[in-house]
Chains A and B, each alone.
Chain A
């Protein structure tokens, strides 16, 4: 009886999730495989023709294989930025949470500022020009790190608060201090939230198109979202190609998510922090 009810509830949840989340997704995929005339209707009709390969090839070959270059750029950008965000953000959040006081109050306020204030584009360009990093990938990485730190720090800080200080003290008795305390004791315990930060920050950086547009212009430097942005107006009458591009640039992060999702599950079975 109970298991029957349970199965029923699961079925309802599954059905709801499928309808709410997968219907829009199937719309995107369907539109991506239609021909250009039918795709212009932007409706849910079944495709009359299936020019899948043709659409795929056309999108990949567009503008001299810009999409492939964009993938390389986006992956380098995302990996570099997220690594820096996680390490620098977790370190700073650790001190911020553990050591309140005047410095902490200022840092707290700056974190909120970072979340609230929108970036100032033109002054940032001036600054990057001054330090010679404008129109370079490292420059863009720094920009993404600067704009992404506050978000990561807020998450890390909240979760570090849940780690008992007894652990710090025990570690200090063992002669750990500062950096080693953080990296040997605290950071491993932050695994669930670290994975969350990695996920959210990667998505943010990978899906960002405003910053690459301004700080790293040019076809050679395009990132995947910039290709979408370019395609959007260029293919205004060819929705099938636009959606093919959308589907293609959504798949890699989806795969990354499935990978990290396994990690979360693994983290769960391995048992989490002991209080």
Chain B
């Protein structure tokens, strides 16, 4: 592999495979038993219960007993009155939050690996929201976004704008929750990007510097392509997170007002809370299928992407 080509990225098939074959035949340097610790725990504690749960999606389940009802739960779930709104909201929310996290995370990542003074301080500041529990974030922003006494609208009033009831108005509720989610989660994207940028060998930067490259040149031709592992991770993780997310929706609007900020996961959670365990499990199976259908091709596409 030559330096110009850059290291291979993404979990694609290796070009060096042919060369390593003879070795593999005797004893692979990558023995399968390295899977063992992770696989054992995952299989026992995650896959077995999940398999059991999938069976219960075919039953009317009260936790105390269950009656087999076939696909009735799936039919009932799809007949849910607000599923359509929930589905649209889920897509909007996931794209909005993951998009912003990638862009802001990358920007902050570059900034916070640069020669900025107070770099350490800023890193701590950006990462701090990740540490605060969702509940606390929810309470805090609910207070800051209050229509009359909230700080946000007071600040807007200073410049002559009369702000809306951010979380209590059907038109702004989902957007507000999404922005709070970005506030709380961008620190995570940033540390992933910091790791990605720090993993780029210094030689590349030196090579560009010799060519007399500008900062933009450096970013465009070294940082951006070579932090691809980070971009890949942030996109996949935050998109899945966004599609499944309901913690912030739940703590700040409970899907309201009415059903206007419901996402699929919050619809499922409400069913779970109502004690419709079979129905909510069926909803989870469907959500799983939807997310897989969206993420699998994306994962394939991103994973195969080569550095040019």
Q: Do chains A and B touch in the complex (CB under 8 A)?
A: yes
In Å, the complex CA distance between A47 and B135 comes to 23
Determine, out of A53-61, A64-72, A176-184, the stretch whose residues face the partner at the interface.
Answer: A176-184
Q: Are the C-beta atoms of B237 and A87 separated by less than 8 Å?
A: no
B19-57 Cβ-contact flags toward A at 8 Å (1 or 0)? 110010001111110110111011011111110110010
In Å, the complex CA distance between A167 and B15 comes to 15
In Å, the complex CA distance between A207 and B43 comes to 24
Q: Are the C-beta atoms of A168 and B29 separated by less than 8 Å?
A: yes
Q: Which residues of A contact B28 (CB under 8 A)?
A: 99
In Å, the complex CA distance between A116 and B285 comes to 10
Q: Which residues of B contact A118 (CB under 8 A)?
A: 244, 284
In Å, the complex CA distance between A200 and B93 comes to 22
Q: Which residues of B contact A73 (CB under 8 A)?
A: none
Verify if B63 is at the interface (C-beta below 8 Å from A): yes
Q: Are the C-beta atoms of B140 and A249 separated by less than 8 Å?
A: no
Verify if A132 is at the interface (C-beta below 8 Å from B): no
In Å, the complex CA distance between A208 and B163 comes to 34
Q: Which residues of A contact B11 (CB under 8 A)?
A: 96-97, 100, 108, 157-158, 161
User: A20-B183, A27-B151 in contact; A272/B198 too (CB < 8 A)?
Assistant: yes
Q: How many residues of A contact B (CB 8 A)?
A: 113
Q: Are the C-beta atoms of A172 and B1 separated by less than 8 Å?
A: no
Prevailing SS type, chain B contact patch: helix
Q: How many residues of B contact A (CB 8 A)?
A: 106
Q: Which residues of B contact A207 (CB under 8 A)?
A: 131, 133-134
A31-61 Cβ-contact flags toward B at 8 Å (1 or 0)? 0000000000111100000000000000000
Q: Are the C-beta atoms of B37 and A88 separated by less than 8 Å?
A: yes
Q: Are the C-beta atoms of B34 and A179 separated by less than 8 Å?
A: yes
* A266 shortest CB reach to chain B, Å: 11
In Å, the complex CA distance between A43 and B151 comes to 8
Q: Are the C-beta atoms of B129 and A21 separated by less than 8 Å?
A: yes
Q: Which residues of B contact A131 (CB under 8 A)?
A: 44
Which residues in window 78-123 of B have CB below 8 A to A? 111, 113, 116-120, 122-123
* A143 shortest CB reach to chain B, Å: 6
Determine, out of B67-75, B167-175, B200-208, B252-260, the stretch whose residues face the partner at the interface.
Answer: B200-208
Q: Are the C-beta atoms of A158 and B229 separated by less than 8 Å?
A: yes
Q: Which residues of A contact B42 (CB under 8 A)?
A: 110, 114, 146, 149-150
User: A99-B28, A275-B3 in contact; A147/B39 too (CB < 8 A)?
Assistant: no
Closest 5 A-B residue pairs measured CB to CB? Answer: A120-B53, A146-B45, A123-B49, A158-B229, A92-B38
Supply 14 further A-B pairs (C-beta < 8 A) apart from A147-B46, A159-B199, A178-B34: A10-B116, A28-B132, A124-B45, A149-B38, A155-B233, A157-B11, A158-B11, A158-B229, A181-B29, A193-B199, A207-B131, A249-B133, A257-B128, A258-B120
Interface residues of B (CB under 8 A from A): 1, 3, 6-14, 16, 19-20, 23, 27-32, 34-35, 37-39, 41-42, 44-50, 52-53, 56, 63, 111, 113, 116-120, 122-137, 139-144, 146, 149-151, 154, 183, 188, 191-192, 194-196, 198-204, 226, 228-230, 232-233, 236-237, 240, 244, 277, 281, 284, 288, 291-292, 295-296, 299
